[in-house]
Structure 1
Amino acid sequence: MASLGTLTRALSHRNARIFFGASLAAWTGLWMHRIAVSWLAWELTGSAFWVGLVAFCDLAPAVIASPIAGAVADRADRLRLTMLSQAAIGLNAALIAALVAADLMGIHLLLALEVVGGIAASFAQPARQSLMPGLVPPADLPAAVALNSLTFNVARFIGPALAGPLIAVAGVWPAIAANALAYLVATTTTPMLRVEAAARRGHSANTSLFRETLDGIRYAARHPGLGPILAFAAVAAVLLRGVQEILPPFVDRAFGLGAEALAVLTAAFGVGALVSGLAVAARGRMAGTTRLAVLGVAALALATAGFAATGWFAFGVLCAAFMGAAGSVHGISVQTLAQNSSDPSMRGRVLSLWGLITRACPALGALILGGAGELFGLRWPVLLAVALSLVAVAWGLARLPRMAAALEGEQAGR
């Protein structure tokens, strides 16, 4: 990883400024969209299960699409794939906004359109992430990885801060329309990037797409570091990240508040993630990153337990900030380790698996928690998930020396 001075140096490159500027716009729109759609689902149904199902439909397509998208990103023009997938996300958001504004949206149609958006996002993620080695010199790549996560979490603060008041004053459709506009900006600025041909395409297609997809999964599974750390991250995401995808029921039932409180909680996640992300980036070394990835989940589990157990909103906001901070430490650490230890020809496929984990696993967790919340209330299912996640942390600590040896060395995957 990199010091804060290195982060600044990474932004001195023209490509990085364009890329991360577009990312900030797109992800701000994305968080506005997520807040608006989640609240819309709650307004339409009043059910935690349906709110969880909407999150599931947005994120779960990654199970099928992400591995394929990673293989496509390793053999196609990554710049073109980024542009097309971002355009699809923007058009889908524009359609949802128009249907909501015209009062034509129902819960089943919303589910279908969230699936479409989820598929497009599954293709955008590995294409964009695979471009990063072509945006900055090799020495600045760890800083670019950290900047990517920091940009996401800055947007995670700005988006809800804009969405909450906007929804309260004008309803949900303007917030969704803002996402369409943001992705229009991202799409039109992508062709401005100057990326060398070698970084735009991983390799020539020499076998079937299906075979390359399977090769990527096998490569990650057999790697002594990538396989265990990705499996650990997947389990943690299923057990803990689902809470953040079904916030409206917590806001309404646990705290008795409305959309503005939902925005405050989501912004608190972003503030915590931003602060901890800066701290992780300032470490300036790769050694110890695997330990951070594991201990970040332990901290996330404790903060999640506090959030689920309280009915005091101020304490819930504090716990949300710690949840965001711990999740950011874990996420930046795992992504940096994946970039460091992946063979360049496999990078798109490995990062697509990370994208699958960050999208599909929280979706599954949200669906399970939403369903369990209808039967048993929200608190006890979350506390059970916390207990199970601490078992996973114990496993991760036991495997820590072997994972670190395979992930943290210079050019570990080369």
Structure 2
Amino acid sequence: MIPPHSSFRALTHRGFLLFFIGVSIATTGQFMQSLAVPFYVNELTDSNFWVGGSSFAVLVPSLIMTPVAGIWSDRVSRKAILIGSFLLQLVGSAVFLVLYIADLLSPWPIIGLQLVVGVASGFQWAPTQAMTSLLVPPEDLLSAVRFVSLSFTAGRALGPALAGLVLLNWGPGPAFAITIVGFVLGLAFMAPMRLRPSEAVNRESFREEFRQGVDYIRHRRAMRLVVVTSFVVASLGAVFAFALVASVADDMFSLGDGGLGWLTATFGFGSLVVGLYMTWRGDRHARSRAEMAAIGVYAIGVLLTGATPWLVFGLLGYFIFGAAHVAHGVTMNSSLQVQVEEKYRGRVMSVWLMSVLAGLPLGSLIGGLLGDLVSMRFVMLLFGGLLAVFWVITTIRSNGFAGLDADSR
């Protein structure tokens, strides 16, 4: 029997268990494709700019659609929005596979498909984050939030890690096929889950409702800190784990496919280890201290990778900022979820997700361009240094991220 205050109590609720398993499988498959695409673009073009551009093409539509999804999540069925998003992404993955088999997958068709997938994924993240409160009672919300964060961040880690191994041995085709299987299995698990009715909200214009969500965050210092920090970490740190990892492996370590597999697998292992710890023992640490440690360690990992020509230290760097990445994700998500009122949940989570989705394409585009003009090593050292500067400034100005510890809504 699970104790009343166990970190695992959220999994005793059947609906949440189905949701957690389904989203974990689908997200892992999704992020396999997110690495397979820039990997293939790098093979086709040998250009950091094209690699960054392919990620930019999928992330910008997702950024634009996320606030719409957040408003819909406060109006209609969050389950229906999420399943619709996965179905459309499933179709996109199938087209990727067909064009790859037919040898018709050139850079411009890839950009076009990435735009479609980006629109579909834009309707995924807000309902995913807002669903939790409708699947568990309030006393188990924090436990559930940690599991959703684990699913999200581990999927972003394990998906690319598995993709690296698949790409190394079999190429992009099988990676696209596994992505399709992941979406099918994820949908199968989520179809039977039942949600409690959500709180009714006054339906105003999309623009007005989005403005209300922004104002809700703007008037709360801790929430502003979460949004700004998430943007900075995405653009200066996470970009090397996802959009630019193929360029790091190729340009910095001259290992091509093999380096890609090793780096992504190591990042995934670091994320998984700390993700499991945060889910199990997260209550032992104040969120402010966890985030302060995560950002500092993240900067160290990026700088270590950028400073060394030896793969063994590059792997250590990726393990370090993989661990920091999941600690940061869990802390940011938990900090928002425990402070937001239910009627604003979808909109607030969408604004937060927009900060991440804005940071990744911006960092990938600027990083890819600078990588072609100077070097990818210069980009890592520059971004890692800026992340360290942000850590120092924010630690001083925000009293060690103290606002993240608030629990009142």
Structure 2 length-normalised TM: 0.93
Rounded to whole Å, the distance in 1 between the matches of 2:169 and 2:392 is 47
Check 1:338–1:268 CA distance in 2 against 1; reply closer, same or farther (3 A cut): same
The one-letter amino acid paired with 2:36 is: A
The aligned residue for residue 138 of structure 2 is 138
| Aligned residue type for 1:127 | P
Matches within 5 A, 1:355-374: 355-374=353-372
Q: TM-score, normalised by structure 1?
A: 0.92
CA spacing shift, 1:169–1:379, aligned 2, 3 Å: closer
8 Å CA contact 1:340, 1:408 repeated in 2 = no
Task: Give the Cα separation in 2 of the matches to 1:53 and 1:313.
Answer: 26
Structure 1 residue 287: Cα displacement? 6.5
What RMSD over aligned residues (CA atoms) do the two structures have, in Å? Answer: 2.2
SS in 1 for 2:104: coil
Per-residue CA deviations over 1:224-245 (Å, capped at 9, x if unaligned) read 2101221122123222222222
- In the alignment, the residues of structure 2 paired with residue 396 and residue 335 of structure 1 have an alpha-carbon distance, to the nearest angstrom, of 18
- 1:214 pairs with 2:220: no
SS in structure 2 of the partner of residue 196 of structure 1: coil
Cα deviation code 1:128-186 (max 9, x no counterpart): 11111121222221111111222334444543454334334432122112212211222
Provide the identity percentage.
31
Note closer, same or farther for the CA distance 1:402–1:344 as it changes in structure 2 (3 Å cut). Answer: farther
Paired position in structure 1 for 2:102:
102
Alignment of 1:5-404 (within 5 A): 6-156=6-156, 158-198=158-198, 202-244=199-241, 245-285=243-283, 288-401=286-399, 404=402
- Conservation of the 8 A alpha-carbon contact between 1:341 and 1:408: no
Q: Which digits, 9 at most, give the CA deviation of each residue in 1:300-341, with x for residues without a partner?
A: 011101111212112111110101111111111111001011
Tell me: CA distance 1:264–1:194, structure 2 relative to 1, closer, same or farther (3 Å): same
Q: Does structure 2 retain, via aligned residues, the 8 Å contact 1:156–1:267?
A: no
Q: State the Cα distance separating 1:284 from its structure 2 match.
A: 4.8
Q: Following the alignment from structure 2 to structure 1, what is the Cα–Cα distance between the partners of residues 121 and 7?
A: 26
CA contact (8 A) 2:63 2:122 kept: no
Gaps of 5+ in 1: none
- Report how many aligned residue pairs link the two structures: 407
Distance 1:74 1:367 in 2: 33
The unaligned stretches of length 5 or more in structure 2 are: none
Residue aligned with 2:130, SS: helix
Worse overlay, 293-302 or 81-90: 293-302
Question: 2 CA distance for matches of 1:4 and 1:334?
Answer: 25
Tell me the distance in 1 between the aligned counterparts of 2:34 and 2:367: 18
- In structure 1, C-alpha distance between the alignment counterparts of 2:39 and 2:182, rounded to whole Å: 20
**Structure 1 residue identity aligned to 2:41:** A
Identify if the C-alpha distance between structure 1 residues 63 and 31 changes in structure 2 by more than 3 Å, giving closer, same or farther: closer
